[in-house]
Structure 1
Amino acid sequence: MKIEKYSDFDMMAIEVAQRIAGDLTVALHNADRAMLAVPGGTTPGPIFDDLCAADLDWSRVDVVLTDERWVPGDHPRSNTRLVRERLLVNRAASARMVPLYAETPEPEESLAGLMEAIEADLPIAVAVLGMGADMHTASLFPDSPYIAAALDAHAPILLPVRPESQPEARITLSARALNGALAKHVVFKGQDKMDALQKARTLPHVEAPIAAVLDGATVHWTE
């Protein structure tokens, strides 16, 4: 793991966008297509605003979320909505989005089809990850009843989860899928989260899921 600190958030967003674009360019030199896994939340929006203008062959890029709330794509809490509005625009409008939601009441009913679409594009070329102050990443929450299964080295690449702290069911890439990425970038802001990251490195993965995906990652952060 490598840690890089930035003087302000805007500088970090620009630099991370450039790193992602560079990683995708390398991946596209070595394969017909490249998969980019991205988080939802508030932090990645400005990164998407810069990344969408990157000069690369976006028509060969598949974009998938690291996790999604089980809500329709036009819902205010939908991560899909964020990606469509702020990443799949400008030059990146030609990228293909791989869905993490289907119109069924529960994620288990659509899991097989969603997983099949992702498996066709593996490995992930670039995974961008956030982190919460509770040390979760994607929807790998320490209070999830099945967190040990989601972190297992033989876990499926996609799992439905229902963390006790969250109001709706979610679907998430497993630690195995994320760790298969050719490049990993963890991005967050705040000293509290850096303190949480350092604490995570001393805890079992089931208590600090972010620690399960730190090997080989670059951590980008600013206060």
Structure 2
Amino acid sequence: MQIIEYIDRDLAAIGVADTLASGLKKALSIQERVSLAVPGGTTPGPIFDVLSAAVLDWDRVTIMLTDERWVPEDHARSNAALIRSRLMQGPAAKAHFLPFYRDGKTAHAAAPELSESLKAQMPLSMVVLGMGNDMHTASLFPGARGLSQALHPDAPALCPIDAESQPDVRITLSAAALNGALEKHLIIFGQDKRDALERAMGQPPEQAPIAAVIQGGTVHWAA
């Protein structure tokens, strides 16, 4: 695990976006198509703003979420809406987006079909992760219903997750799908997140899910 520190969050947004763009360009030089899995939430927004302007063959990039709240795209808590408004703009508008939500189905019912549809994208070319103070990443929440299945080495690509701390059922890329990515990046801001990451390294994945997927990845941190 490599840790890159930035002077401030504005420079982090630029630095991380440049790193991601370089990684995608490298992947595109050896693959016809590449896949990029990204988180929702507020932290990656400024990074997406910069990344969306990168000059690369976006029409050969498939973008998906690391996890999604099981709500329609026009819902205020939809991560898909954030991706469309912050990342899939400018040059990046040419990328292909793979949404997870299926109208009329539950997350549990849709998960097998969605996992099957992602087989062509595996292994993922690049994964971008966030982390909460509770040491969750994607929607791998400590104590959540479905966590054990999502952490299993033979788990399908997507798993439903129901965490008591969250208002919506979610669907998430499994630890196996995240770990299989050719390139992994974790973005955390603030000393509390840095401390949480350090605590996670000495705990089992059931208590600190980030520990299940960060090995071999790059951590980007700014105060």
TM-score by length of 1: 0.98
Secondary structure, counterpart of 2:35 in structure 1: strand
Runs of 4+ deviating beyond 4 Å: none
1:72 has 2:68 as partner: no
Q: Which moved more, 1:59-68 or 1:109-118?
A: 109-118
Unmatched tracts of structure 1, length 5 or more? none
Q: For the Cα contact (< 8 Å) 2:37–2:124, is it kept in 1?
A: yes
Matched residues in 2 for 1:205 and 1:113: separation?
A: 27
| Mapped pair 1:120 → 2:120 | yes
SS at match of 2:159: strand
Q: 1:92-111 to 2 correspondence within 5 Å?
A: 92-111=92-111
Which is worse superposed, 189-198 or 140-149?
140-149
- Contact 2:13–2:50 (Cα < 8 Å) also in 1: yes
Cα distance, 1:175 vs. partner?
0.5
Taking only aligned residues, the RMSD between alpha carbons, in angstroms, comes to: 0.9
Query: Which deviations, in whole Å up to 9, do the C-alpha atoms of 1:119-144 show, x marking residues without a partner?
Result: 11111111000000000000000021
1:158, CA displacement in angstroms?
0.5
2:16 is the counterpart of 1:16? yes
TM value normalised by structure 2: 0.98
Equivalent residue runs for 1:156-171 within 5 Å: 156-171=156-171
Distance in 2, matches of 1:84 and 1:47, equals 14
| Residue matched to 1:173 | 173
Q: Amino acid of the residue matched to residue 77 of structure 1?
A: R
* 2:83 corresponds to: 83
- Number of aligned residue pairs: give it: 223
**AA aligned opposite 2:148:** A
- How much does 1:183 deviate? 0.5
Q: 32-41 vs 105-114, which deviates more?
A: 105-114
Mapped partners of 1:146, 1:114: distance in 2: 16
Q: 1:143 — aligned with what?
A: 143
Write the letter of the residue equivalent to 2:122: L
- The residue type equivalent to 2:8 in the other structure is D
SS at structure 2 position matched to 1:172: strand
2:34 counterpart of 1:34: yes
Work out the CA distance in 2 between the residues paired with 1:82 and 1:117.
22
Q: What is the percentage of aligned positions where both structures have the same residue? A: 54
Please report how far the alpha carbon of residue 105 of structure 1 lies from its aligned counterpart in structure 2 after TM superposition. Answer: 4.2
In the alignment, the residues of structure 1 paired with residue 207 and residue 74 of structure 2 have an alpha-carbon distance, to the nearest angstrom, of 33
Kindly tell me: are residues 112 and 147 of structure 1, through their superposed partners in 2, closer, same or farther at Cα, counting changes over 3 Å?
A: closer
Equivalent position SS for 2:127:
strand
Gaps of 5+ in 2: none
Query: Secondary structure at 2:46's aligned position in 1?
Result: helix
Matching of residue 45 in structure 1 with residue 38 in structure 2: no
Matched residue type, 1:66: T
